[in-house]
Chain A
Amino acid sequence: MMFMRLTTFFLGVLATLFIAWTGLVLVPGIQISEIKPSPQLHPYTEQQLHGRAIYIREGCIYCHSQQTRPQGFGADQLRNWGRASVPGDYVYDKPHLLGTSRTGPDLFNIAARQPSEEWHLIHLYNPRAVSPGSVMPSFPWLFREEDSGSLKRNSASEERVVPVPKGFAPEGKVIIPTQEAIDLVAYLLSLNHTYPIGEKAIGTTGVTPNSEPKDVKRGVDGGEVYARICVSCHQPNGQGIVGAFPPLAGSDWLLKDPETPIRIVLHGLQGSIEVKGMTYNGVMPEWGSRLSDEEIAAVLTHERRSWGNSAEEITSDMVDRIRKETANRTTPWTPDELQKLRK
C-alpha cells in the first residue's frame, strides 16, 4: 500500500544532500587544500584588506569577475587579461570574490593592465570621465569636494587632488580622495597575478583547451590594439585627459624619433614629463612582456599616423632590435634617461 517506508524516504532525502556535499565540497576541498600558494603571491596588507572590504561593500562583484579563463575558452587570453587563474591564486581570499558577471571587465590582473592610481581615482569618481559609454556607478561618497581657493592653504591635500577632466566635477571645486578611495585603489593595484606558476599547480583550469587561439597568424591591426589597451588613458581621440594622462596627438615623445616611444612601450615610464606645455606625473606601464613586436610596431604606427599626426612607420624589426638591446632592463624608464638616449 505505502509507496515506501518512511524511514527509507527520509534517509534517501538526507543521503542525496550529503552525498552531493561530499562530492562537490568536501572532496575537492581536500584536493585544493593541498595546493600551496605561489611564493610570488603575497598576503594582503592591512590597507589592501580595507580596500577589499570597500570592494565588497559597494558590490563591485556584481559586475566584475576575478577569474581568468584558459586559452581556447573565451577571449581572456587574447585580451591580455593574464594566464588562466588557478586555486593557488586565491589562498588569501576570504570571502572569495570570483564573481559571475562581466558587465565590466575581469579584474584579476587589473593592476598589470591599468597601474595608474590617478586613472582609478578618476574612474571611481565618475567612470564616464575616462571611459565613455560605461554604465558603472559613480562613487562620489569616496571623495570630498573642496573649493579650489581653499586648497592653497592646505598643501598636504594638494598632492592628492584627483585630476578630474573638465565637465565632470562641479565648477570651482577640486576633488580630494578620501582614505577609503585610496585604500580601494590600493586593493585594485594589488590585483596582479601575472607571476608564472609551476606546471604542477596547473591541471585545474576546469576546461581542456580545444583550440589554438583563433588569430595567431592574423595580421595585427594597430587600431585594434589601441582600442584594447591604450584607449582607457589616452582616449579615443588621442587627446589624453588634461592633467592626468598626456595626449598622443602632437606629442614630441611619440613623434620626434621612433626609438623613444618603442622604449616607453617596452618598459614603461615613470616620472614628471612635459607634453604640449602641461606637466604630467604619472605611470606608464610596461607592455613589453605582454605585447609582441608586431603588436607594438602596429600600435605605434597607428598612433603616429592618427589624430593629425604624421611620422614615419615603426617596423617590428626596430622593436625587436631595441627589445634585444634593453633585454636586461627591469624598471621603467625615467624621463632623464630617455632624454639622454635621444642625443
Chain B
Amino acid sequence: MDFSDHSNASTDESPELSFRVLSDASTSGPVIAFFISAVVWLLIGTVFGLIASLKFNFPDWLGSYPALTFGRVRPAHLNTVIYGWASMALAGCYIWLTARLCHTEIRWPRLLYISVIIWDIGVLYGIIAILSGHSRGMEWLEFPRVAEFLITVAAVCLSLSILRTFHARRVKHLYVSLWYIMASVVWFPLLYIIANLPFYSGVTQAAVNWWYAHNLLTVWLTPAGLAAAYYFIPKVIGRPIHSYYLSLLGFWSFALFYNWNGMHHLIGGPLPTWHITVSIVASVLMVIPVLTVAINHHLTMVGHFGKLRYSPTLRFVVFGAMCYTAVSLQGSLQALRSFNEVSHFTHYTIGHAHLGVYAFVTMILFGAIYYIMPRLTKWEWPYPILIKFHFWFVALGILLYVVSMSIGGILQGLYMNDPARPFIDSVEVTKPYLLARSVSGIIILIGHLVFIYLFSLMVLRRGPERKVPPWREALEVAGR
C-alpha cells in the first residue's frame, strides 16, 4: 500500500511536477468556471437565507411581495445553496481532484463547459420558478421538471467527463478520495433520476422524498467533503493518511448504512413501523463510518495541529472534518425515537442541517478553493489577513447559528409536547433564538462578502503580487 506518491507535500523538485502542470492546465478552465458560478450562487443563496430568517423577526417586512414571502424564499434559499453553491463548488473539486489523483489531464473538457452552462440555466430557471410560485411542493425537490431535467443533463456530462478521465488514469493505486468521487458521480445522477420518476403518490411519495433528500447528502455532499478532507489534510501537513484499512472500512460502512437513513425524517408519521425502524437502525450504525473517519483523520493530524495557524486550507478543512463528526453523531442521536419526539418538527432540525451542509461541507469547500485556485490561476491569494477574517466570521457565525437553533428548537419541542401550554407559547419561546439566528446570518454574509472579494481578485489576478506561496515564505524565513 503505497501512499507516498499522493500525500507528500512535495516541492517543485518532485518528479510529479510534470503531470501536475499538465493536469492543472487541463482543469483550470472548467474548474474556475464551476467555482465562479458556485460563488455567485453562494451570495444569492446567503441573501435568500437572511431574508427568510428576518421574516421570523419581522413577519410583515417585505410582506406585500408574493415572490418574497417566507414560503417561497425559504425553498429558494435551500435550492440555491444546494444545487447552485455546494453542487457546483464540489463539481469543481471533483474535476480537479480526479485529474490530479489520476495523474493525467481531464478528458472531454468541452462537456464540462456545457455542464456549467446547463447547470447554471437549470438553477436559475428553478429559482425563478419557485419565487414566481411554481414549486413542485416537495422539500429538496421543488424545482419544476424542466429545471430538474437540465440539472440531470449537466450532472451526467460532469460524470461522463470524470469517469472518462478515471478510465485514462496513469496510476495503479487508487487513493481513497477517488473512491468517494467515483461512487459519487455514479450515484448522484441515478438518485436524482429515480427520485423524479413520476409514479409515486401519497405516503410512498413522502418515503421517496425523504429517501432522496437524505441520500443527496449520502451520495453527493458528504462524499465531496470526505474526498477533500482525505486529500487535503495529508497533503498540507505532508504525511500519509494514518490507516488504509480504516479508510476502506470507513468507505464501505458509509455506503452500506448511509443509504438507508432517510425515513428518520418521518418518525411518528403514517408509515409502517418496520419501515421507520430500519432507518433508525441505519442512522445509529452511522457511528461506525463516522468514528472510523474521525479516528483516521485525527491520527493523521496528531502532532501537526500547529500548522492550522499557517494554512488556511488546513484550518477550513479540519474545522469541517470535526463538524462532520459532530453532525453525524448528532444525527444518530436525533434518529432515536425518544429524542426525535422532542426535536422533530422544530428549528433544531434546521440547526442540524446547517451544521452538516455549512459547518462541514461548505467549510471544506472553502478550504479546497483556497488550495486549488492559486494552482489554476498562478496567482497567490492576496491579503492573508482577509482570509483570517473570512474564517473567523463564518466559523463564529455558524457556531452562533447552530447553538441558537439547537437551544431554541429543544425549547420549542418541549413546549409543543406540553398540552398544558397553548401552541403559541412554542412560537414565542423561539423568538430570541430566531433573532440570534438572524444576527448569525448577517455575520456569515459579511464573511461571504470578504471571501467573494478575495475570490474576485484571484480570478482577475489583481491585488498585491506575492511571488511565492506562503509556505515557501515560511521556509525562507526559517532558513535564514
Interface residues in chain A, defined as those with a beta carbon under 8 Å from any beta carbon in chain B:
1-3, 9-10, 12-14, 16-17, 19-21, 23-25, 28-29, 31-33, 56-63, 65, 67, 69-70, 73-75, 78-79, 84-87, 89-98, 100-105, 126-128, 131-141, 203-208, 215, 221, 224, 227-228, 231
Contacting pair A32 B182 (CB below 8 A)? no
Q: Which residues of A contact B5 (CB under 8 A)?
A: none
Instruction: Count A/B pairs, Cβ under 8 Å.
Output: 245
Complex: how many Å from CA A33 to CA B204?
8
Q: Once the chains bind, are B269 and A98 in contact (CB under 8 Å)? A: yes
CB-CB under 8 A for A32 and B272, given A94-B202, A102-B346, A227-B422: yes
Is A9 a contact of B427 with CB atoms below 8 Å?
A: no
B-chain residues with CB within 8 Å of residue A100 when the two chains form the complex? 139, 265, 344-345, 349
Mask, B248-268, CB within 8 Å of A = 1, is 100010011001101101111
Q: Check A70–B268 contact: CB distance below 8 A.
A: yes
- B417 on the A face (CB < 8 A): yes
Chain B residues with Cβ below 8 Å from A65 are: 345
A21 to B193, alpha carbons, bound, how many Å?
12
- What residues make up the interface of B, taking CB atoms closer than 8 Å to A? 1, 55-56, 59-60, 63-64, 66, 69-72, 74-75, 133-139, 172-174, 179, 182-183, 186-187, 190-191, 194, 200-209, 211, 215, 219, 244, 248, 252, 255-256, 259-260, 262-263, 265-273, 275-276, 278-279, 337, 341, 344-347, 349, 416-420, 422-424, 426-428, 431, 434
A274 to B266, CA, bound (A): 47
Minimum C-beta distance from B202 to chain A (A): 4
Q: B139, B204, B422: which contacts A28 (Cβ < 8 A)?
A: B204
In angstroms, Cα B461 to Cα A146, docked, is 58
Chain B residue at smallest Cβ distance from A52: B137
Cβ–Cβ contact A207 & B204, under 8 A: no
Is B255's CB under 8 angstroms from A12's CB? Answer: yes
Docked pose: A61 CA to B136 CA in angstroms: 11
Complex: chain B residue closest to A108, CB-CB = B270
- B75 in contact with A59 (CB, 8 Å): yes
Contact check, B272 vs A206: say whether CB atoms are below 8 A apart. yes
Nearest chain A CB to B62 CB, angstrom units: 9
| Among all A-B residue pairs, the 6 with the closest Cβ atoms | A59-B71, A20-B259, A78-B419, A56-B137, A102-B345, A57-B133
Q: Is A204 touching B59 in the complex (CB atoms < 8 A)?
A: no
Looking at B70, B215, B419, B428, the one whose CB has the most chain A CB atoms below 10 A away is B419
- Residue among A58, A103, A131, A141 with most chain B CB within 10 A: A103
A29 B200 Cβ-Cβ under 8 A: yes
Contact residues in B for A91 (Cβ distance below 8 Å): 201-202
Contact call B417/A75, Cβ cutoff below 8 A: yes
A141 in contact with B64 (CB, 8 Å): yes
How far apart are A48's CB and chain B's nearest CB, in angstroms?
Answer: 15
Query: Is B135 within 8 A of A94, CB to CB?
Result: no
- Contact present for A208 and B273 (CB under 8 Å): yes
Chain A neighbourhood of B56, CB < 8 A: 135
Cα A16 to Cα B418 in complex, Å, equals 41
Tell me the minimal C-beta distance from A8 to chain B in angstroms. 11
Most buried by B among A21, A31, A84, A131: A21
For residue A79, which residues in chain B have a CB less than 8 angstroms away from its CB?
A: 419, 423
Residues in A neighbouring B194, C-beta threshold 8 A: 21
| B33 vs chain A, min Cβ distance (A) | 28
Given A84-B270, A102-B416: A1 touches B202 (CB 8 Å cut-off): no
- Complex-state Cα separation, A201 to B315, whole angstroms: 54
Q: Select from chain B the residue with minimum beta-carbon distance to A103.
A: B427
- Asked whether A13 and B211 contact (CB < 8 A) given A28-B272, A31-B272, A206-B266, the answer is no
Please determine whether B209 and A134 come into contact, CB atoms closer than 8 angstroms. no
Q: In whole angstroms, how far apart are the Cα atoms of A63 and B55 in the complex?
A: 13
8 pairs, CB–CB < 8 Å, chain A vs chain B: A14-B186, A14-B190, A62-B71, A90-B203, A98-B266, A137-B63, A206-B267, A207-B273
Of A132, A204, A224, the residue contacting B273 (CB under 8 A) is A204
Q: Shortest distance in angstroms between A244's beta carbon and chain B's nearest beta carbon?
A: 19
Cβ-neighbour of B270 out of A23, A89, A103, A139 (below 8 A): A89
